[in-house]
Structure 1
């Protein structure tokens, strides 16, 4: 019986521990040309550390994006929830750096440790890039930082034979369009114990296919919606349940009767109509929040965040529930900032947003959203500044100190309300680790 084989992230390192100079590290970068290796070594020897770091990180991220694109750009768009990405999209342009790192880790293309380091390197480079001329003269990248950039990029991407998504995942994705599963099939039994991203992505494939496919592929996808949704439902977070409800609302509005029947049957089987929105207003909120996150994780974020979060704020004071998780993630990213500080000009808008939240909304975020909000939990795990901002925020906005549905979130809240930074870091790390299981 064929079953889904859950992929494992790459293990071990490529760069020898004894390699302590640019030449030794670059020499094992199999995916860099001899010319590129020479340029890296030359830049390092001339102490052009920021130039070298930017060059090698760009090479690594470009290769990572091409690896993701091997799955098909439409599929990448499905996994990222990006309706603007289609088969003709250029991966190096369409996929943001942060999206590439996060998606590659979730797919097992790179491991968790390398993903963390790449994210932090990305933030460090963005920090140096945003410095004005005077500050840039006094704040220079250190030799050790540049060497760390090179080591991480070679270990994660440039020194590997080939960073590709697992064949089992590609096969299962194809089968969703080529056969209709039965409840007793081994693939569905394995799906129930697979990592959450596998379940989330499977649902995204089914929803996207119901909108775009035709012929036999369309029929199989509709049949699999009816069979697979009940299998996944109890383990899905509200954000995914709302995505299914949103798909039903769109199908009704479009008069797509076959899709309506399949989605209605699936939602009826799980009593899921509470997640069907009354309007499609949530799409606008979700798109604006997604833009805030994109700006926050890109270059010149402190400069660009005010306009992005103001655009979100201008959409209205009442947030549709389907868009609430991503809106909170976006606002908290701005509020907490990163290891280099916050966008001061964006803080008043973020504070206005948080100040309007009701106790019910806070409880919903803490119970249903925070356990899956990797962007926010990463900040609390990795950086002192965002942790301190989080602790101050809980006090300023009278955030509840317990989460009835999550003992891990409750531990985080208790330590945060006590202003115990060490315990807060530990609780956040435990929560982040649980997301990757």
Structure 2
């Protein structure tokens, strides 16, 4: 594999020794924590202030993870997250949600899948304790083992790793994308075609972001690489990425950026991709509202904040535009399935009304094309019994077993849902999640 397209590898191994079974032993290997922070962690743990310590160490880890992402460029981060509101002046610790930071860091190989899973689950657990009322908080406390797990995960994933955890290989390749125009038969292009999916998605995001942020020679190289790389990757791209190319074309037309229009038109014409160009920019509004639902759902006080967020999405219109369909479905189903601690009851009626509007064609599109890439929903079906049982009810209510299913593992997942077989559902969901996060 050519050095300029070497796919950065996720971190392997552990920083914390297996023998470390107390806070001082774990905190002392956290190279990215000051001695003062280490002392505070140890003191809080020894005082049995487990939730306070867990919140402190998780916040430290996530803040560092966000800064590492920001070192790649906040405008680029915004493109990767589908966040048009992010630019180079955005403050990463404020602008990027915790769930977004974990997911994007895993996709980019800054942390490995195991640590990403644990960080996500720790985030949910901390949100649960934070949402307890005073009476419940008196009787439901974080255990010593849970607090140690928080500390171990944060040190292994982020706080124990020296230097900048942003991958140097990626930074180098990103610069090359904007510093030269590749040719169809270049080894980098051939390698890119068989690279893991997140690498293709990232490359595409760099190019589309470059249309808006680059000028001069960098802008010209960006457009040249769009013409070469979009056709090379097209057959392996998921619909979400194809829609993003079509959306960029529509925006370039509206902004009268002639060179970008010509380059994107040439790329789309070569793959007959104009079906993915939205007729209007209405989809941007839907996508932004759906992204807000997901942000609220994965943050603190989610049950309280979800009703307003899902209501804003429901009020946008009676039909969801296709470009925004994948993220909108992920948002609606996240509210409907809830998490291991329950659902936001006040938000369920709005979520159900959105699901009630779906046609057979839309359900089949979601099951066959979108669920395969819906990490948030697959996590719920893989990890937690509560969301699984609510999924069983949803499958029955909307008669999903009668839909035409093309993918074998999805078919197994739906059949397991009809028989309410949690074990088989978990296995199928885990297989899909592993395929998604390792490609």
Cα offset for 1:403? 5.4
Correspondence for 1:415:
416
Correspondence for 2:370:
369
C-alpha separation between the residues in 2 aligned to 1:163 and 1:420? 44
Change (3 A) 1:305 1:13: same
Task: Describe the superposition over 1:383-435 as per-residue Cα deviations: whole angstroms up to 9, x where unpaired.
Answer: 11111111111001112456543222122112112211100000000000101
C-alpha separation between the residues in 1 aligned to 2:408 and 2:402? 11
Correspondence for 1:157:
158
Q: Is the 8 A contact 2:50 2:144 kept in 1?
A: yes
C-alpha separation between the residues in 1 aligned to 2:164 and 2:104? 12
Q: Is the 8 A contact 1:52 1:146 kept in 2?
A: yes
Q: Is the 8 A contact 1:402 1:410 kept in 2?
A: no
State the TM-score, normalized to the length of structure 2: 0.97
Q: Does 1:217 align with 2:218?
A: yes
Task: Describe the superposition over 1:344-369 as per-residue Cα deviations: whole angstroms up to 9, x where unpaired.
Answer: 11111111111111100000001111
Correspondence for 1:71:
72
Q: Does 1:61 align with 2:62?
A: yes
1:111-130 pair list within 5 angstroms: 111-130=112-131
C-alpha separation between the residues in 2 aligned to 1:160 and 1:395? 47
C-alpha separation between the residues in 2 aligned to 1:152 and 1:227? 41
Change (3 A) 1:349 1:279: same
Give ranges in structure 1 of 5+ residues lacking alignment: none
1:28-427 pair list within 5 angstroms: 28-400=29-401, 404-427=405-428
Give ranges in structure 2 of 5+ residues lacking alignment: none
Task: Describe the superposition over 1:200-250 as per-residue Cα deviations: whole angstroms up to 9, x where unpaired.
Answer: 121111112113322111111111111110001001111111111111111
**Larger deviation, residues 124-133 vs 411-420:** 411-420
C-alpha separation between the residues in 1 aligned to 2:245 and 2:213? 15
Q: Is the 8 A contact 1:401 1:410 kept in 2?
A: no
Cα offset for 1:259? 1.1
C-alpha separation between the residues in 2 aligned to 1:264 and 1:71? 28
Cα offset for 1:162? 3.1
C-alpha separation between the residues in 2 aligned to 1:397 and 1:407? 20
Q: Is the 8 A contact 1:22 1:40 kept in 2?
A: yes
Secondary structure class of the residue paired with 2:325? helix
C-alpha separation between the residues in 1 aligned to 2:375 and 2:43? 38
**Larger deviation, residues 201-210 vs 305-314:** 201-210
**Larger deviation, residues 203-212 vs 55-64:** 203-212
Secondary structure class of the residue paired with 1:178? coil
C-alpha separation between the residues in 1 aligned to 2:403 and 2:427? 17
**Larger deviation, residues 410-419 vs 131-140:** 410-419
C-alpha separation between the residues in 1 aligned to 2:242 and 2:401? 25
Q: Is the 8 A contact 1:288 1:308 kept in 2?
A: yes
**Larger deviation, residues 129-138 vs 210-219:** 210-219
Cα offset for 1:163? 4.9
Q: Is the 8 A contact 1:336 1:389 kept in 2?
A: yes
C-alpha separation between the residues in 1 aligned to 2:174 and 2:404? 36
C-alpha separation between the residues in 2 aligned to 1:198 and 1:119? 22
Secondary structure class of the residue paired with 2:110? coil
C-alpha separation between the residues in 1 aligned to 2:426 and 2:213? 44
Cα offset for 1:6? 1.1
Task: Describe the superposition over 1:129-156 as per-residue Cα deviations: whole angstroms up to 9, x where unpaired.
Answer: 0111111111111111111111111111
Structure 1 segments, 4+ long, off by >4 Å, are none
C-alpha separation between the residues in 1 aligned to 2:315 and 2:28? 52
C-alpha separation between the residues in 2 aligned to 1:390 and 1:227? 42
Secondary structure class of the residue paired with 2:162? coil
Cα offset for 1:2? 4.3
State the TM-score, normalized to the length of structure 1: 0.98
Q: Is the 8 A contact 1:415 1:424 kept in 2?
A: yes
Correspondence for 1:26:
27
C-alpha separation between the residues in 2 aligned to 1:424 and 1:325? 21
**Larger deviation, residues 75-84 vs 356-365:** 75-84
Secondary structure class of the residue paired with 2:178? helix
Cα root mean square deviation, aligned: 1.2
Task: Describe the superposition over 1:42-87 as per-residue Cα deviations: whole angstroms up to 9, x where unpaired.
Answer: 1111111110110111111111111111212222222222221111
Q: Is the 8 A contact 2:23 2:45 kept in 1?
A: yes
